[in-house]
Amino acid sequence: MSAPALRRTAVTVRLNLRLQAAGGYWLVVVVVGLVGALLLRGLAALPPRWWPVLLLGEMTITCFYFAAVQVLAERGEGSLMCRAVSPMRVGEYLAALAASLVLLAVVESAALVLVSGTAVAWPAFLAGVALLAVLEVLYGAVAVAGYRSAASFLLPSGVWTIGFAVPVLPLLGVAEGWWGYWLHPLQGPVVLLRIAFGQAPAALSVPAVLAAAIWSLVGGAVAGRRLRGAVVDDAGGSRRRAAGSAARWDDLASGSPRRAPHRLCPRSRHPSGLPDLPLRLRRPGGRRPGTVGVLAALVPMDVRRLARDDLLWWLALLPLVMVLAVRLGAEPLAGMLHAHGLDGEAWLALLTGLVLTVVLPVMIGTVVGFMLLQDKEEATWQMIAVTPLSLHRYLGWRAGQAAAVSVPAVAAGLASCAGTGWARATALALACAPLAAATALALAAFATGTVQGVAAVKLGLLVLVLPVLDHAGRGGRAPWLAVVPTWWPLRALAAMGEGAAWLPWAAGALGWGTALAAGCLWWAGRSRAPQRTAP
C-alpha cells in the first residue's frame, strides 16, 4: 500500500471511529462488555469451553451487523458514492471499516475476559478476536450489498449468520476432530480462541492464522466486488460495463445516480413536476376522511412495501423457523446441558420460554422499529404531519401491526413447544403483544437513525434477558427485575409449569408492556423533525 493510500485509510479510520462514537457504538460495547463480564462472574457453572461460543455471538453483532448497517447508512446518504468517485479504492474503504470495528471488538472482548477473571493466553486471544472481527466485517459487507434498508436486511440476515455456528459445533460435542471444519472461513479464529482458553494445542496456531489470512483475502475480494456492484446499481450503470474495472470506484460509478421515488410521494408525471400524494386528503364531497379512512388507505401501501422488500415472506417464515428450531433442538440441547452438569429440563424450559415469549415478539417489533426509523430518516414523519393522520396515530398504527403479528406467532409456539394448550397460549400471547409494540416504538423514539438503532438493539437484548438469571440463579427471586418487561411473561410461564396461578403475572406483563409502549409513543411524537445521524 502506497503512502497516499495509507494516509487515506488512516483518515477514514479516524472518521469511522468518530462516527461510531456518535452512533453510540462505543458506549454500547463498553456497557455490554462490563455487564456481561459481571454476569459471567456470577455464573460459576458456565463451562469454560463455551467461551468461544459466547465471543462468536458477541462479534456477530459488534462486527457483522455494525459493519452492515454502516455500509447501508453510507449508501443511503450517498457517502458510498462519494467515496467511489474519490481517489480512495474499495480495498482501502474495507480496510478502514475493518480496522475501526476490530478495535471495538478487541475492547469488548478484553473487558469480558478481564472483569470475569478468566485466564487466557493473550497472544492467541487477541489474534483470534482480531481475525474473527475482520472476517465478520467482510462478510457483513458481502451480505448487505444486495439490500437498501436495514428493515429489509434484518430478517434475511438470520440466514446469512446461520453458518457462523459451524466452527463451534465441536465445542457442543458434534463431530469433534472432523477435518472438514477447516474449510469454514471462521475455523481459524475459533481455533485460536480455543488455544487461548486451553482447549486446543498451541501447534494449531500456525495453520489457524494461515487459514484465516487466506479467507480474509478471499473475503476482501468478494466484498469489493459486491460493493462495486452496489455502486453500479446506485449510479444507474450496468454490471457488464463495470466488469474487469477494479482500479477505481469512479470507473464503476459512471452515469447519474437514480433516486427512487418516495413511498408516500411517487414521481409525478404532472407537467408541474409536483408529486401526487397517494393519500386522498379530501373525499369527493369536499370533506376530509376520518382516521379509519386514512388507515385503510395505508393498508395496501403497507402490503406493497412488505412485498417489495420480501418482508412479507420473512415475517411469515420467522415464527415457523423459530418454532421448528425449538422443537427439533430441544432434545439435543437437553442432552448437551446434562453432559455439562446442568439441569437440562429446567434450563430447557427456561430457554424455550425466553425464545417464544421474549425473543420472538422483540424480533417482530425490531423489524417494525427499523421500518419506522427508515421513515424517520426519509422525512416521512414530516409528511404525515400535513395529512389528516397525526403522527401519534401513525406510530400507534405501526405499533399495533407489530403487536397483531406477534400474537398468533407466540401462541402457536407456546401451544406446540411449551405444552400450554391453545387457550392459555393465546392468553399469554396477548399479554406479550405489548412487548412487540414497545420495542418498535422505543427504537422510533430514542434512536435517530438505523446506526443508533443497531446499537440500541444490542444493549436492549442484554437488558431483556436479565430476568433469565433471576429464574436460573440459586439466590432466589429478585423482585427488582420486575422493572424489566420480560420478567413478567417468564414468571407467568414458570407459574404455568408449576401449576400455580399465572394470570396475575400475565396481567402484569400486559399492563407494564402497555405502559412502556404508551410512554414511548408519547416521547416519539414530541418531535416531528428527525435528526439525521452520520453513517
> Grid cell 409513543 — which residue?
521
Give the pLDDT of residue 271: 37
pLDDT digits (tens, 9 = 90+) for 111-141: 888 877 778 899 999 999 999 999 999 999 9
Percent of the chain residues topping a pLDDT of 90: 32
Q: Higher model confidence: residue 283 or residue 169? A: 169
Reported confidence tier of residue 236, pLDDT bands at 50, 70, 90: low
The string of DSSP codes covering 470-488 is: HHH-SS---GGGGGSTTHH
Report the distance separating Cα 225 and Cα 146, nearest Å: 12
* Residue 273 or residue 517, greater confidence: 517
pLDDT at 290: 59
C-alpha cell at 120: 487466557
> What 3-state DSSP class applies to 90?
helix
Grid cell locating 438: 414497545
**Chain Cα centroid distance, residue 108:** 18
Residue 467, pLDDT above cutoff 50: yes
- Distance separating alpha carbons of residues 340 and 46, to the nearest angstrom: 9
- What number of other Cβ atoms are within 10 A of residue 382's Cβ? 14
pLDDT of residue 257: 41
pLDDT at 275 over 50: no
Task: Summarize the confidence of residues 133-154 as an average pLDDT.
Answer: 90
The answer to whether the beta carbons of residues 411 and 491 sit under 8 Å apart is: no
What stretch of H or E contains 426?
Answer: helix 422-446
Q: In whole angstroms, what separates CA 146 from the centre of its chain?
A: 17
CA distance 469 to 327: 23
**More reliable by pLDDT, 7 or 324:** 7
Taking the C-alpha atoms of residue 168 and residue 159, their distance in angstroms, rounded to an integer, is 17
Report in angstroms the alpha-carbon separations of 365 from 43, 243, 512.
30, 40, 16
pLDDT score for 199: 86
CA-CA distance, 71 to 81, in Å (whole number)?
A: 11
- From 18-22, 273-277, 328-332, 496-500, the region with the lowest mean pLDDT: 273-277
Q: Are the C-beta atoms of residues 96 and 67 closer than 8 Å to each other?
A: no
440, 399 in Cβ contact below 8 A?
yes
Report d(CA 65, CA 37) in Å as an integer: 22
Q: CA angle at residue 170 from 165 to 174, to 5 degrees?
A: 95
At 77, the pLDDT band (50, 70, 90 cuts) reads: confident
Distance CA 455, CA 225 (A): 28
Task: Work out the pLDDT band at 253, boundaries 50, 70, 90.
Answer: very low
Three-state helix/strand/coil letters over 14-27: HHHHHHHHHCCHHH
Share of the chain above pLDDT 70, in %: 77
User: Is residue 451 scored above 50 in pLDDT?
Assistant: yes
For residue 411, the model assigns a pLDDT of: 93
Task: With H, G, I as helix, E, B as strand and everything else as coil, classify residue 43.
Answer: coil
Buried/exposed 440-454: b ≥16 CB within 10 Å, e otherwise:
bbbbbbebbbbbbbb
Q: Which of 116, 136, 140 is nearest to 59 (CA)?
A: 136
What is the pLDDT averaged over residues 310-324? 71
Least Cα distance to 122 among 133, 185, 51, 114 occurs for 114
> Cell 436479565, residue?
466
Minimum mean pLDDT range among 99-103, 143-147, 169-173, 530-534: 530-534
Give the pLDDT band (50/70/90) at residue 221. Answer: very high
pLDDT, residue 35, reads: 77
What pLDDT, in 10s, does the model give residues 346-383? 777 888 888 899 989 998 999 889 888 888 888 888 88
Cα separations in angstroms, 394 against 366, 401, 435, 528: 17, 11, 18, 12
Q: What is the DSSP string of 177-215?
A: T-GGGGGSTTHHHHHHHHHHTTSS-GGGHHHHHHHHHHH
At 154, the amino acid letter reads L
Nearest of 325, 344, 319 to residue 334 by alpha carbon: 344
Q: What is the pLDDT of residue 310?
A: 62
Confidence at residue 278, expressed as pLDDT on a 0 to 100 scale: 44
For residues 102 and 135, give the distance between their C-alpha atoms in angstroms, rounded to a whole number.
10
Are residues 273 and 286 in contact, defined by beta-carbon separation less than 8 angstroms? no
Closest CA to 101 of 31, 17, 219: 17
Is 334's pLDDT higher than 80? no
Q: pLDDT confidence of 240, banded at 50, 70, 90?
A: very low
Query: pTM of this prediction?
Result: 0.78
